[in-house]
């Protein structure tokens, strides 16, 4: 792998929230992890651009701090 290829892989930016979510879920699955229904629904809201990452974090914190 050349330095240029490495930089492209490391500095990859998703083109859309949907692409970022798909990449994140694929990464989870490679690691043998799965989200619960709440997590999947939250990720879908990000992919649909209904909420952004900061809003998702606030929702997660509120949900799990109950």
What are the pLDDT digits (tens) for 48-59? Answer: 999 999 999 999
Residues contacting 21, CB < 8 A, separation 6+: 43, 44, 46, 47
Instruction: Give the other-Cβ count within 10 Å of 21's Cβ.
Output: 19
Q: Which of residues 19 and 3 earns the better pLDDT score? A: 19
Q: How confident is the model at residue 37 (pLDDT cuts 50, 70, 90)?
A: very high
Query: Sign of dihedral through CA atoms 15, 17, 18, 24?
Result: positive
* Token code pair at residue 15: 């083109």
Domain coordinates in residue numbering, the chain = 14-64
pLDDT-above-70 percentage for the chain: 82
Residue 13 pLDDT: 75
Check pLDDT > 80 for residue 6: no
- Predicted TM-score (pTM) of the model is 0.72
């Amino acid at each position: 792998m050349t330095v240029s290829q490495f930089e492209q892989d490391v500095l990859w930016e998703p083109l859309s929230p949907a692409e970022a979510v798909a990449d994140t879920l694929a990464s989870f699955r490679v690691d043998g992890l799965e989200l619960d229904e709440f997590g999947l629904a939250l990720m879908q809201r990000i992919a649909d651009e209904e909420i952004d990452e900061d809003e998702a974090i606030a929702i997660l914190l509120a949900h799990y701090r109950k």
